[in-house]
A and B are shown apart, each in its own frame.
Chain A
Amino acid sequence: MNALAALGEALVLIGTFFYFLSTLGLIRMPDVYNRMQTSTKSATLGSLGVIIGVGVWAVGNGLSWAWLVKATVIAVFLLLTNPISAHALIRAAYMSGIPLWHGSVVDKYREHLEAKEKAETDAPLEGGEE
């Protein structure tokens, strides 16, 4: 048991803790958007911890460096793709009309969309008058 292995174990432990928090958020949060917020953020962080931790742990246990390299590649891929998928899911949920939590205060995106729609319906009328 050397320092690298201990570091890896600690990282895996932190990662699993964040996994637990992410599941807890999935149960506890009131609406889709809040649930997505908690689950994607902490699940990404938890995965990063677990994956990098496994790589470091394997190197510390005397396995080859290839473990850490592969783990890093997977971690970078996950780090880049997870937010994009979360973004696509949330946008799709909003576009299909899933309501915000009743305690939400502002919805600037709705205002923006309505303003855009209004501008679009007004524009052809002006064109017709000319």
Chain B
Amino acid sequence: MVSILKRSLAIISILIIGYWLAQGLAGVPFGQDKMLVGHYYLQHVKEQTGAVNAVTAIVVNYRGFDTLGEVTVLFIASTGVGALLWRKKRERTAKTEGSVVLTTGVELLFPFIVMFGAYIFIHGHLTPGGGFPGGATIATAFLLLYMAFTIYEVPHKAFEKTEGIAGMSYVLVGLIGLAIGGYFLFDWIWQTWQWGTNNLGRLFSGGFIPVIYTIIGIKVGTELSGIVDNMLKEEVRE
């Protein structure tokens, strides 16, 4: 009886909240031009950043500080998982190896998935995607290896060092911008060097967006693989 009362109360309160939100949204006109700062971005994105993809230009260039914050959040998540699950001696607990079809398939697919992830983050300024989807794709490849093999483990030493170096080089790129242009995350490759200015829409353009997205892609890929590695291990008792 109590559970029915609780459930109906929850449903009623959620309906009230939903109605309240819908009332608030009903005042917003649908399908009309509501852009204030958006017009500025769309009109100036090409000459100011060199990126054809306006989203990555905004995320990395105009508002690069938010992306740095996101990378920090991911790093803290990875460190937090590592700290929460820390034990002296831990091993994989998987009992059964995947079937032959699965292991062979994963072995064949792994390089292609890593290549596709690299493609996504290298072409962040041209095609949809960027560092985070590319990094997540690479982490998926390592997750596949974990799922198919009982003994597979990520190369820890190399991975954790790469992760730290990638995070540092993002800050370093920002600091070079501070030294050259006067503010943190200033796009020095595009604004000061004018590198790739007559190359708009091709691979070697976009200022420092491809550089930063490569760094982010490597960082996110190694980080999520590390989280997967941490979560798949259990303590062993002797």
Q: How near does chain B come to A81, taking the closest CB pair, in angstroms?
A: 7
Contact partners of A77 in chain B: CB under 8 A:
112
**A24 at the B interface (CB under 8 A):** no
Nearest to B102 among chain A residues (CB) is A88
Instruction: Judge if A28 is at the interface, Cβ distance under 8 Å.
Output: no
Q: A81's contact among B96, B98, B109, by CB below 8 Å, is which? A: B109
Query: Complex: how many Å from CA A16 to CA B96?
Result: 38
Instruction: Tell whether A84 is near chain B: CB-to-CB under 8 Å.
Output: yes
B102-A80 in contact (CB<8A):
no
Interface presence of B101 (CB below 8 A): yes
Whether a CB of chain B sits under 8 angstroms from the CB of A116 is: no
Q: A81's closest neighbor in chain B, by CB? A: B109
B105 interface hit (Cβ, 8 Å): yes
Give chain B nearest CB distance to A73 CB in angstroms: 9
User: Which secondary structure dominates chain A's binding surface?
Assistant: helix
Report A-chain residues with C-beta under 8 Å of the C-beta of B98. 88
CB distance from B119 to the nearest CB of A (A): 11
Task: Tell which of A80, A81, A91 touches B99, judged by Cβ atoms closer than 8 Å.
Answer: A91
Q: How far is the CA of A77 from the CA of B109 in the complex (A)?
A: 9
Q: How far is the CB of A74 from chain B (nearest CB, A)?
A: 11
Chain B residues with CB under 8 Å of A81's CB are 105, 109
Measured between beta carbons, the chain B residues less than 8 angstroms from A84 are 101-102, 105
Interface size on B, residues (CB 8 A): 9
Contact yes or no, B101 A87, CB < 8 A: yes
User: Residue on A with the closest CB to B148?
Assistant: A88
- Rounded to whole angstroms, the CA-CA distance of A100 and B108 in the bound complex is 32
Chain A min CB distance to B108 (Å)? 8
B99→A88 contact, CB < 8 A: yes
Q: Find chain B residues with CB under 8 A from A91 CB.
A: 99
CB distance from A82 to the nearest CB of B (A): 11
B130 to chain A, nearest CB (A): 18
Bitwise interface map of B from 91 to 123 toward A, beta carbon under 8 Å scored 1, else 0: 000001011011001001100100000000000
> Contact: A87 with B109, CB < 8 Å?
no
Residues 47-101 (chain A) with a chain B CB within 8 angstroms: 77, 80-81, 84, 87-88, 91, 95
Select from chain B the residue with minimum beta-carbon distance to A95. B96
Residues on A with beta carbons closer than 8 Å to the beta carbon of B109 = 80-81
The docked-state distance in angstroms from the alpha carbon of A88 to that of B103 is: 10
For B101, list chain A residues within 8 Å (CB): 84, 87-88
Closest B residue to A86 by beta carbon equals B101
A91–B96 Cα distance when bound, in Å, is: 12
In the bound complex, CA of A77 to CA of B137 (Å):
14
Residues of A within 8 A of B105 (CB): 80-81, 84
Q: How far is the CA of A80 from the CA of B112 in the complex (A)?
A: 12
Nearest-neighbour CB distance to chain A for B39, whole angstroms, equals: 29
Which residue of chain A has its CB nearest to the CB of B100?
A: A87
B201 → chain A closest CB, angstroms: 14
Bound Cα distance from A21 to B112, whole angstroms: 31
The 4 closest A-B pairs by CB, nearest first: A84-B105, A87-B101, A88-B102, A91-B99
Q: What is B's interface to A at a CB cutoff of 8 Å? A: 96, 98-99, 101-102, 105, 108-109, 112
A sample of 8 inter-chain contacts (CB < 8 A) reads: A77-B112, A80-B108, A81-B109, A84-B101, A84-B102, A84-B105, A88-B102, A91-B99
List 6 other contacts, CB 8 Å, given A80-B105, A84-B105, A87-B102: A80-B109, A81-B109, A84-B102, A88-B99, A91-B99, A95-B96
